[in-house]
Structure 1
């Protein structure tokens, strides 16, 4: 009888291990403080580099992941509403038009 009990226990452990291996955890949001890097298409970079808009003076560092204040005017990219741009402190910046978060600083 103990042999049967051992076999049942082993089968239970094996099936539990197999189930655990197929479990996937998906999170919608990055960890707090994490910087998410988005790949900016080359067509967006080219578009931003060709635009002539006045530079905005901003008292702060323009870094990827920073959110620009409402006072900084941004311009949605024609044909690609997923990106916007501005020029801040003489630096061209690609931003998320919904969150105003800096995606890339072009030099």
Structure 2
């Protein structure tokens, strides 16, 4: 019985840690609109494009004139919102 309780507590602690590391960023609508209206060439990238992926510095990040907190690029024909300071993917626009 004691072993089961210890395992349950350990599982809850691990779940809490994983959840604490998840950050949800709400991107303003005008940023998404701006990005969808821009024509930039798509670059090819072999890795998975998912939220949290840090892109290599060789991937050009375009700026958004009205909001320097966000950047964007088009990878594998998908528009991607990027943190311009860390090159991490914030959102993949569907």
TM-score after normalising by structure 1 = 0.68
Residue in 2 that maps onto 1:16 = none
Give the RMSD, CA atoms, in angstroms. 1.6
Match of 2:4 in 1: none
CA contact (8 A) 1:82 1:96 kept: yes
Structure showing greater radius of gyration is 1
Task: Tell me whether 1:103 sits opposite 2:90 in the alignment.
Answer: yes
Q: Matched residues in 2 for 1:45 and 1:69: separation?
A: 22
Q: Which ranges of structure 2 fall in alignment gaps of 5 or more residues?
A: 1-16
5+ residue gaps in structure 1? 1-30
Runs of 4+ displaced beyond 6 Å: none
Q: Report the Cα distance in structure 2 between the residues aligned to 1:35 and 1:87, rounded to whole angstroms.
A: 24
Task: State how far apart, in whole Å, the 2-side matches of 1:69 and 1:35 are.
Answer: 22
- Provide the residue aligned with 1:81 in structure 2: 68
CA distance in 2, matches of 1:57, 1:98: 21
CA, structure 1 residues 35+69, in 2 after alignment: closer, same or farther (shift >3 Å)? Answer: farther
TM norm structure 2: 0.77
